[in-house]
Amino acid sequence: MGDTAWAATSAAAVPARTVTARHSALVRVTHWITTLCFLALLVTGIEILISHPRFYWGEAGNVNTPALFKIPIPASRATVPTGYGYVMPDQNGWSRYLHFQAAWVAVLTGLLYVISILVSGHLRKDLLPGGADVSWRALSAAIAKNLRFQRPSEEEAWSYNLLQRLTYLFVIFVLFPLVIWTGLAMSPAIASVFPGAVSVLGGQQSARTIHFFVSVFLLLFLVVHIVMVCRAGLKNRMRAMITGRAGSDKELA
């Protein structure tokens, strides 16, 4: 009898761990597939860039035409003038193949994600800013906090501030569609079937240049995203993105 009372008292004295549902299975799966695709696109994109680190504007561009700008790295082809006395190993073949495969997987995964956030209401509830939240004061405060990489409070860590909402919307509905569009515009098949999709960008070389800058912006977003996740609590956020559920940072510390 006494042991039972002692056990009950001890159980009551131990606070129950608060477990919060954070991400659905579909969000977690699409997140990690997109992560793998992005890493594959990044590595293969660098390999493709090394084969010709010069950028042009217009429909055509080659080593015999003036470059809009060039990346100061050695190339993997001896015919490309870089100023270096050697060439890098040529990995252009497999990198292009994997780049295209990863891009199509990322496109299909992105479409599935967009459909899911529209159907589930995640877009409306968590990403679209409310009318009362949209103000220069709220945006300025969010920018100042994010630029200082301040650790958010426990309540703020489970929601998005105005800057984060606008950034995610910009990435999902502007940068991702633009990187897909410019990537397709570099394809001769797409150019022959939909020439207007290429000409509106200024030509295939213009599409390649825009594709490069959009990719750089996406890479910067990824770096900032990783830093913010680490600041908000890496252990808890990783658990949430893997299992879908997470407790408070204090309980997990």
Interval 202-252: pLDDT, tens = 999 999 999 999 999 999 999 988 888 887 778 888 888 888 776 554 443
The DSSP letter of residue 131 is T
Number of residues that make up the chain: 253
Q: Look at residue 109 in the predicted model and tell me its pLDDT.
A: 96
CATH of 22-248, one of 2.40.50.140, 3.40.30.10, 1.10.510.10, 1.20.950.20: 1.20.950.20
Interval 98-129: pLDDT, tens = 999 999 999 999 999 999 989 988 888 878 87
> With the CA atoms of 208, 40, 240 and 24 taken in that order, what torsion angle do they form, in degrees rounded to the nearest 10?
70
Q: Coil, strand or helix: which one is 163?
A: helix
- Give yes or no for a contact between 178 and 200, defined as CB atoms under 8 angstroms apart: no
**3-state class percentages of the chain: helix first, strand second, coil last, to nearest 5:** 65, 5, 30
- Give yes or no for a contact between 157 and 233, defined as CB atoms under 8 angstroms apart: yes
